[in-house]
Amino acid sequence: MNETPVPRIDDQVFRLLLLAITVAFAWILWPFYGAILWAVVVAVIFAPVHRWLLQSMQGRSGLAAAVTVLIIIAMVLLPLAIVATSLVQEASGLVVKIQSGEYDFGSYVQRILDALPAWATGLIERIKLTNFSALPESFTSSLVKGGQALAPQALSLGINTFEFMIGLGIMLYLLFFLLRDGDTIADRVREIIPLRSDQKATLFTRFADVVRATVKGGILVAIAQGTLGGIAFWFLGIHAALLWAAVMAFLSLVPAIGAGLVWVPVAIYFLATGAIWQGIGLILYGVLVIGLVDNALRPFLVGKDSKLPDYVVLISTLGGIKVFGLNGFVIGPLIAAMFMVSWEIFSASRRDDPASNA
């Protein structure tokens, strides 16, 4: 008769000590979780580039990792810095013009309301959807308050920039070692995880797939949609086209929302103010070009890597952004994918274990 071995007291104490030290270490790293997260994400995305350079440089892993980091800085970080600088300038100029009254968005809203047919305004007023007389003033007041709320943030821009630079430096530093020693680190993590080999392989594969799917299928598609929308706004002479392009790109990160929240109201304004051809052209461009980018590019960039239902992606993305900020659009789907694959592994283990079905 086999007896279940009783854990020794010193083993239990060591496990508690190990848990406490692990929690303390995670607590220390938490202020830089964003830098660590993006170091891992960028390392996963650019791993094929590093492997190609590693073969070209005859296995000199340190040099290959350094060159990969330089490529990332030149191709990703520098363009982002240039765009971010231009965005800050455009946003600041737009806020100043709104506060000075040069741009009266309330009058723009009033033009749209005046262009609505009588039956439409009457129907909306009867169901008390909104107060038309107060809507333009309320809209302008909200924009001015938003600009005033952003003003204090500008005072802490220097501090935020300093913190951002520290985080960026940590991210690049970790990225170098993740690229150079990635295989060794992955093997160490696999040894630590107390699961079967097939379960660990499934988890690691799923993690890499979701990271690639989220970044490639999310960021690249969002950049494409924002760029196309910004080009249309620039062509139509809309002020701060780069700023609106960034807004459209950000909205495109969220499934089922997209850039239409920006270009559709602009098209309606064109139609309501008599710019019929501009409005029709923007609608056709938005539907046939901007709207179809997602369907055309996402399958090509991602394939079926994520294997997550659309509603799960939507909820996990919104929840992740709510909890973790901008980093949440990666963390949310990643947690959702790990949740689903963990339960799949658990269900499969129960099916394969005769004792659990007895």
pLDDT tens, residue order, the chain (358 aa)? 455 555 566 677 888 888 899 899 989 988 888 889 889 888 888 888 999 998 888 888 889 999 999 999 998 888 888 887 777 777 777 666 666 666 655 566 666 666 666 665 666 566 555 554 554 455 455 555 555 444 444 444 444 677 778 888 999 999 999 999 888 887 887 787 777 777 777 777 777 777 777 777 777 888 888 899 999 999 988 877 888 888 888 888 776 667 888 888 888 888 877 788 888 999 899 888 888 887 777 666 655 555 667 777 778 888 888 888 878 877 888 888 788 878 877 777 776 665 555 5
166 and 234, same structural domain? no
Measured CA to CA, the distance from residue 40 to residue 207 in angstroms comes to: 11
- Residue at which a domain ends, from 192, 208, 243: 192
Q: Is 280 left (phi over 0), alpha (psi -120 to 50) or beta?
A: alpha
186 and 257, same structural domain? no
203 and 112, same structural domain? no
321 and 293, same structural domain? yes
Asked if the structure places residue 143 within a domain, the reply is yes
- Residue at which a domain ends, from 171, 192, 213: 192
Asked if the structure places residue 226 within a domain, the reply is yes
246 and 259, same structural domain? yes
The sign of the dihedral angle between the CA atoms of 29, 35, 37, 41 is negative
215 and 75, same structural domain? no
pLDDT at 27: 92
pLDDT at 212: 73
210 and 229, same structural domain? yes
Asked if the structure places residue 3 within a domain, the reply is no
203 and 269, same structural domain? yes
78 and 211, same structural domain? no
260 and 187, same structural domain? no
Asked if the structure places residue 357 within a domain, the reply is no
Q: Which structural domain range is residue 322 located in?
A: 196-349
Asked if the structure places residue 18 within a domain, the reply is no
What is the tally of structural domains in the chain?
A: 2
Asked if the structure places residue 23 within a domain, the reply is no
One-letter amino acid at 75 equals M
313 and 200, same structural domain? yes
pLDDT at 173: 93
Asked if the structure places residue 209 within a domain, the reply is yes
pTM: 0.69
Asked if the structure places residue 136 within a domain, the reply is yes
103 and 231, same structural domain? no
